[in-house]
Amino acid sequence: MKDATSTDRSCHWCGAKLYFVQGRGWVHEEGGIYMMYCPDCGWKGAPYPSPTRCPRCHSRAIRDDHCALPEE
């Protein structure tokens, strides 16, 4: 992620490191604003662009877990 600025803010919901990307705002380390969750295998991640299927088990049941929110 060469267009991202590393910061010491972390996500209010998951505690992961967040990055500020020009034009898109706060994103998770993998580049996605939304942390995704798979109820079938328990996978969690924030790839960008958001996948429509779980990258681990290919389930279509994945959903948004939360949106990146920097802690003050």
Per the DSSP assignment, residues forming a β-bridge with 25 are 21
Residue 61, amino acid: A
Q: Give the one residue of 4, 9, 14, 26 binding Zn ion; rule: CB under 5 A.
A: 14
Q: How many angstroms separate the CA atoms of 58 and 40, rounded?
A: 9
Give residues 35-54 in contact with Zn ion (rule: CB under 5 A). Answer: 35, 38, 40-41, 43, 54
Strands 44-47 and 63-67: unpaired
21 touching Zn ion, by CB under 5 A: no
Strands 25-28 and 4-10: unpaired
Q: Give the one residue of 13, 25, 64, 71 binding Zn ion; rule: CB under 5 A.
A: 13
Residues making contact with Zn ion (CB under 5 A): 11, 13-14, 35, 38, 40-41, 43, 54, 56-57, 59
